[in-house]
């Protein structure tokens, strides 16, 4: 029984410490990169790998009970929530930044697509090309 | 805690199984305390990034990061105090943190759209508070 206890302690401790190391790497990346869309890479790593390894270590410590199940539920929830929040944050950054071209490449096709979508969303602008087509015809 | 130390001091006369159990308990306790201290130290750079971040998205990213670390802290605390219900609080914290990031992003997009709309046609009258359809 004693040997099993020690093995459990060592394996769980390795998982927990590696999760902490991932968090440290995340903070390093956040201070290393220069722009939000780059920093998001580092943050996503901590949100998935860091908390997953910490929770796996704590699950090994806790053994077979409901606490383990709830820890697993936290990890599964973050698997779904973290990409969504990253996506929303990236949309916030792209929508509010006036000079996005200084930091990253914006492809012209994407800009054309954006203009098309804006024209489709706005009915007043959508009516314009149709009327001009009619006048041409 | 005092009781534990008392038993730990007289471990020579305690029997061996109890001895090993007490040692493992002490190691677990010290490991949890160390992890909590390390996480608390690592929260400060996140706070610095939240204060210094040049854009709003920087601040929201660092708030998200702090939320993740606090979740791990609550989970460690649940095992340290041996209270299973603290993990429920951890789950609730995850949900509220996710909600906060999404709602704040939407609010800032709405504010920006409104400001740009006002800058494009400044002679429009002020009413129309319900006009921000993006929020």
The model's pLDDT over B2-27, given as tens digits with 9 standing for 90+, comes to 555 555 555 455 556 667 778 888 88
**By the CB < 8 Å criterion, does A107 face chain B?**
no
Predicted interface score ipTM higher than 0.95: no
- Where exactly are the structural domains of chain B? 2-121
Whether residue B102 and residue A24 make contact (CB cut-off 8 A), yes or no, is no
Facing B69 at nearest CB: one of A23, A93, A95:
A23
Q: Is the pLDDT of residue A131 over 50?
A: no
Q: Do the Cβ atoms of B53 and B62 come closer than 8 Å?
A: yes
The residue among A48 and B121 whose pLDDT is bigger is A48
The pLDDT confidence band at residue A134, using thresholds 50, 70 and 90, is very low
Q: Which of B20, B32, B59, B65 to mutate to test the interface with A (most CBs of A within 10 A)?
A: B65
Per CB-CB distance under 8 Å, the chain A contacts of B113 are 95
- Where exactly are the structural domains of chain A? 2-100, 107-137
The pLDDT confidence band at residue A1, using thresholds 50, 70 and 90, is low
Q: Is the pLDDT of residue A20 over 70?
A: yes
Q: Is the pLDDT of residue B36 over 80?
A: yes
Q: Which residues contact B86 (CB under 8 A, 6 or more apart)?
A: B74, B75, B77, B78
Share of chain A above pLDDT 70, in %: 88
The pLDDT confidence band at residue A96, using thresholds 50, 70 and 90, is confident
The residue among B119 and A77 whose pLDDT is bigger is A77
Whole-number Å distance between alpha carbons of A24 and A28: 6
Q: Do the Cβ atoms of A47 and B64 come closer than 8 Å?
A: yes
Over the range A80-110, which residues count as b (16 or more CB within 10 Å of their CB) and which as e? Answer: ebbeebbebbbebbbebbeeeeeeeeeeeee
């Amino acid at each position: 029984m004693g040997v099993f206890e020690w093995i459990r302690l060592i394996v769980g401790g390795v998982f927990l410490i590696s999760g902490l190391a991932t968090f440290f790497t995340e903070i390093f990346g956040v201070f290393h990169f220069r722009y939000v869309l780059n920093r998001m890479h580092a943050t996503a790593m901590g949100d998935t790998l860091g908390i997953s390894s910490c929770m796996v270590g704590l699950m090994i410590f806790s053994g077979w009970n409901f606490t383990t199940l709830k820890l697993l539920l936290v990890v599964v929830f973050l698997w779904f929530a973290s990409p969504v929040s990253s996506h929303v944050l990236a949309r916030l950054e792209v929508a509010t930044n006036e000079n996005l071209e200084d930091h990253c490449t914006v492809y012209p096709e994407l800009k054309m697509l954006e203009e098309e979508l804006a024209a489709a969303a706005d009915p007043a602008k959508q009516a314009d090309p149709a009327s001009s087509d009619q006048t041409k015809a | 805690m005092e009781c534990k130390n008392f038993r730990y001091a007289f471990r020579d006369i305690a029997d061996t199984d109890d001895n090993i159990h007490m040692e493992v308990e002490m190691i677990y306790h010290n490991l949890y305390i160390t992890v909590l201290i390390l996480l608390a130290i690592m929260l400060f750079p996140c706070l610095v990034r939240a204060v210094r971040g040049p854009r709003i998205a920087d601040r929201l990213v660092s708030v998200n990061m702090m939320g993740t670390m606090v979740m791990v802290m609550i989970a460690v605390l649940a095992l340290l105090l041996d209270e299973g219900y603290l993990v429920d609080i951890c789950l609730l914290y995850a949900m509220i943190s996710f909600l906060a990031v999404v709602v704040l992003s939407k609010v800032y997009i709405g504010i920006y759209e409104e400001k740009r709309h006002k800058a494009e046609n400044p002679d429009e009258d002020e009413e129309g508070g319900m006009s921000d359809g993006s929020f």
